Chain A
Amino acid sequence: MATFTAAASAKPMAMPVIENSQMNMSLKKFDGMRVTPSFGKKKEFSGLKLKSSHSVKMTLATDVSRFEGVAMAPPDPILGVSEAFKADTNALKLNLGVGAYRTEDLQPYVLNVVKKAENLMLQKGENKEYLPIEGLAAFNKATAELLLGADNVAIKQGRVATVQGLSGTGSLRLAAAFIQRYFPGEKVLISSPTWGNHKNIFNDAGVPWSEYRYYDPKTVGLDFEGMIADIKAAPDGSFILLHGCAHNPTGIDPTLEQWAKIADVIQEKKQTAFFDVAYQGFASGSLDEDAASVRLFVDRGMEIFVAQSYSKNLGLYSERIGAINAVCASPDTANRVKSQLKRLARPMYSNPPVHGARIVANVVGDPVMFNEWNAEMELMAGRIKGVRQRLYDNISAKDKSGKDWSFILKQIGMFSFTGLNKAQSDNMTNKWHVYMTKDGRISLAGLSLAKCEYLADAIVDSYYNVS
């Protein structure tokens, strides 16, 4: 009795081919069974007479996709939220999923300096030639100086290798690929919790990772002791992923004193700090203040990686502009590291996109535009602080239980970690049409003063009436 492999098998089979064009049928025996094809315009084969106890209507092996076994992937936990929001027809719906800045009118926002820069670029009529693998030189210079300060010793000594990357994600991925290749087996430690895509990046790059304690639900603050202990417990030489400012998703940042202690441990353990800086300027409104943690490490002479993104602070989300920086012990090392980063970028996308890089270089390179940018950034950060205050006031007014909601004011940046669990977050969406991520994170950038009260109602309801 011949067996028949199900058409839904994941393993593709050697497929006999019927030459339709020449009307030349080559019938092949398939697992001992005779195939009786039907002629017609389409090469469709219906019915297969099986000499077995069950008669099964199946398509011929030729019609089975090689990708039949590919499962439907779940929607991205963060980006998928926006998709679900779009599909919702309710008038009260609120999208607090993705960290994309909205005005008080809940409209997307293109910074004025960006429009100016683009018009300038149009006037200049620049060409669209390939950038070098490492990206636009003017951008690389500007981005390192923004991060570390133009007068930074490490820059002056040529110890900073900067390679333009595809926003934060792409820059993180380049560094991850570098770690996998040159430090195989070395672990990256990521905070618990952290941005959902971090683990995907390290997984796909083949870099093992583990978590260090970070968020303390009891205090809705930083579990500093736990963090230090876990970093100490990690092997020497590990990479420690740190959020430079405005930790995502919690909004809880270490103080400067705590940063110093973190640096102590990392130095002691000969680990390498790996900063993710996605909100420089956006957290406090000040570029320098938000870079204090990174600069502290660099000033100590430590070697670090820093991934930067201009998605939020310049509103260049879809232009995909960022950079990976390696601050090294010597200029020679920096050159070698840069050459190896280039070697990893070339088989990924060859060279990075020019448009966003030119915008940044133009804005940063012109003192008038640079000042205007700072002002716009302060406005954006200011609006978010204002919304935090209003939300806090509204919730406090509605919640008479005495629960301390002040963490909303203490948290920094675009997001607030509400402390809502998955079921409560689901309630926010299902009952109140408030879209957020399942970890209880809301994007304040997507909240208007006008909607704070509605959100307060939703949060209070979800927190107390759902468990």
Chain B
Amino acid sequence: MNSSSSNCFPGQEEAERRLESLARHLGTMAGDRGNRDGSVDFEATAGGFGNSAFEKLQQAPEDPILGVTVAYNKDPSPVKLNLGVGAYRTEEGRPLVLSVVRQAEEALIQDRSRYKEYLPITGLAEFNKLSAKLILGSDSPAIQESRVATVQCLSGTGSLRVGAEFLSKHYSQRIIYIPVPTWGNHPKIFNLGGLSVQTYRYYDPSTRGLDYQGMLEDLSAAPSGAIVLLHACAHNPTGVDPTQEQWQGIRQLVRQKGLLPFFDSAYQGFASGNLDADAYSVRLFVADGGECLIAQSYAKNMGLYGERVGALSIICRTENVAKRVESQLKLVIRPMYSSPPIHGATIVATILGDRNLNYNWTLELKSMADRIISMRHQLYDALKARGTPGDWTHIIKQIGMFTFTGLNKDQVSFMTSEYHVYMTSDGRISMAGLSSRTVPHLADGIHAAVTRIS
């Protein structure tokens, strides 16, 4: 590009343009930073330079789930209770690092032969193998036939996102059906991953249970080949899971309609306390030889929240397809973060790969699940004792970390402002955040909300 100049001297136009732009940047256009004689004070212009490229940007609202903790942290009340994020708390209300995790981590850090070299794009191989075994069962024919492509990803979110991007690039259908309600982050993950989102009926507020017929009807109406998001167990936020018979019916329909199941498994072992029981739905589908995707998270069941450990498995028809699928998953991952973080995955692989650690893990997992179940019973009993109007049996029927209380937005607001109880606006509370000590306060709050606000 030639800068042709028809001005007095070569470069004058250039220089003037530069000075002009500099002056603009020094804030003269902002009005009062320049002096009347045209000079500009340096101090007045340092920082806060006139026009920003980002001027039109809005402030994004806080994330509806993670924002609850932000609000909680700001609250000075001594009785405040954080039932927002699904992070396990002990009876003393403290975060928990599992003993087996501490043990594995100590061994890892003391091991002088360990390096921090890049993992392969697909992650730690041993971790991938063990993760597939964990969800599918070590005797799974899909594993034996090498039909499973597994890649380490950033916890559940990362696994879902990589799966979505893969499907949007390589699958013929770009619609995913998600249950109503579902985890708040699901639609965003899928949209940004290149899929469009449709819904299927799931929760029935009148029964506080599963709208099984509605679910089957809506899935029947889905176009052939559409993707279906299924919560493997401990549905978030409702805690309402299909029964085994219902899972069989769902599977039949999904296969009949040629829908592609995408399981979100974030609570294996955490829901019932039993790893195999919590994998029932996934294994049922895989047993019929069909294909599916599975996103696994170790955030809750290993308490590895901040380490971001998870895996995406794609169960394919043949070994050959699985190899090709894996190669394409690498192309999704490389431009996103190149390769996954090593620390958490090594901890998981150490635990799953060692008989003693693995066994001790199952014990710790069961005790976490049991404490949550006990909280459910305590809350239910407390509400009954207060004579709180309504049927609260759903508290003990629902499964997993959360209870879908049935409180509406206004009641939730009331609970926060008057009782300093923090939960998501859909009325979801994390039972993992409760203790025997705090149950009475929560029960008081619910009682008040239900009797005073409608």
Complex Cα spacing A318 to B59, Å: 33
**8 Å CB interface, B38-81 against A:** 45-61, 63, 66, 70
State whether A70 touches B49 (Cβ < 8 A). no
A335 at the interface (CB under 8 A from B): yes
Which chain A residues border B277 with CB–CB below 8 Å?
Answer: none
Nearest neighbor of A176 in chain B, beta-carbon distance: B335
Residues from chain B with Cβ under 8 Å of A157 in the complex: 47-48
Does A264 belong to the interface (CB within 8 Å)? yes
Q: Are B116 and A173 in contact (CB under 8 A)?
A: no
Does residue B371 face the partner (Cβ distance < 8 Å to A)? no
Known interface pairs A70-B328, A204-B335; A128-B305 also in contact (CB < 8 Å): yes
Say yes or no for B321: interface residue by CB 8 A criterion: yes
Q: In the complex, what residues of B have CB within 8 A of residue A272's CB? A: 53
Residues of B contacting A14 in the complex (Cβ-Cβ under 8 angstroms): 224-225, 257-258
Name B346-392 residues within 8 Å CB distance of A: none
- Structural contact, A76 and B330, CB atoms closer than 8 A: yes
12 new A-B contacts, CB < 8 A, other than A268-B18, A326-B54, are A14-B224, A15-B258, A21-B288, A69-B170, A76-B334, A79-B339, A110-B114, A130-B85, A157-B48, A233-B1, A237-B53, A350-B158
| Residues in B neighbouring A203, C-beta threshold 8 A | 335
Interface: A224 (CB within 8 A): no
CB distance from B114 to the nearest CB of A (A): 7
A173 close to B335 (CB less than 8 A): yes
Across-interface contacts of A73 in B (CB, < 8 A): 324, 327-328, 330-331
Instruction: Give every chain A residue within 8 A of B303 (Cβ-Cβ).
Output: 128
**Does chain A have a CB within 8 A of B434?**
no
Most chain A CB neighbours (cut-off 10 Å) among B109, B118, B252: B118
Bits for A52-96, please: 1 = Cβ < 8 Å to B, else 0: 000000000001111111111100100100010000000000000
Q: Chain B contacts of A353 at CB under 8 A?
A: 154, 306-308, 341, 343-344
Q: Which stretch from A32-40, A141-149, A336-344 is at the chain B interface?
A: A336-344
Chain B interface category by residue count:
35 or more
Q: Once the chains are docked, how many angstroms separate the CA of A13 from the CA of B260?
A: 12
Inter-chain CA distance A323–B421, complex, in Å, is 34
Taking a contact as CB atoms closer than 8 A, the residue among B25, B63, B327 that contacts A72 in the complex is B327
Determine if A159 is an interface residue (Cβ-Cβ < 8 Å).
Answer: yes
Contact status of A339 and B59, CB under 8 A, knowing A66-B260, A114-B116:
yes
A162-170, A366-374, A451-459: which lies at the interface? A162-170
Is B54 touching A67 in the complex (CB atoms < 8 A)? no
The residue in chain A whose Cβ has the minimal distance to the Cβ of B124 is: A318
Given A100-B118, A336-B58, are A352 and B308 neighbors across the interface (CB < 8 Å)?
yes
Bound Cα distance from A25 to B232, whole angstroms: 28
**B255 contacts chain A at the CB level, 8 A cutoff:** yes
Say yes or no: A316 contacts B291, CB within 8 Å: no
B304 on the A face (CB < 8 A): yes
A133 and B327 alpha carbons, distance in the complex (Å): 30
Taking the closest CB of chain A, its distance from the CB of B438, in whole angstroms, is 18
Taking CB as reference atom, which chain A residue is nearest B186?
A347
User: A65-B318, A128-B307, A329-B50 are contacts. A197–B109 as well, Cβ < 8 Å?
Assistant: no
Return the contact of B47 from the options A237, A301, A336 (Cβ within 8 A).
A301
Cα of A71 to Cα of B85 in the assembled complex, Å: 40
A320 to B158 alpha-carbon distance, docked (Å): 14
List chain A residues, Cβ under 8 A from B21. Answer: 267-268, 270
Cβ–Cβ contact B25 & A130, under 8 A: no
* CA of A302 to CA of B21, assembled, Å: 12
Q: Is B343 touching A348 in the complex (CB atoms < 8 A)? A: no
A169–B338 CB distance below 8 A:
yes
Docked pose: A268 CA to B335 CA in angstroms: 31
13 A-B residue pairings within 8 Å (CB atoms) = A14-B225, A67-B291, A108-B117, A119-B109, A125-B102, A127-B96, A128-B304, A200-B335, A328-B54, A333-B52, A333-B54, A339-B60, A344-B192
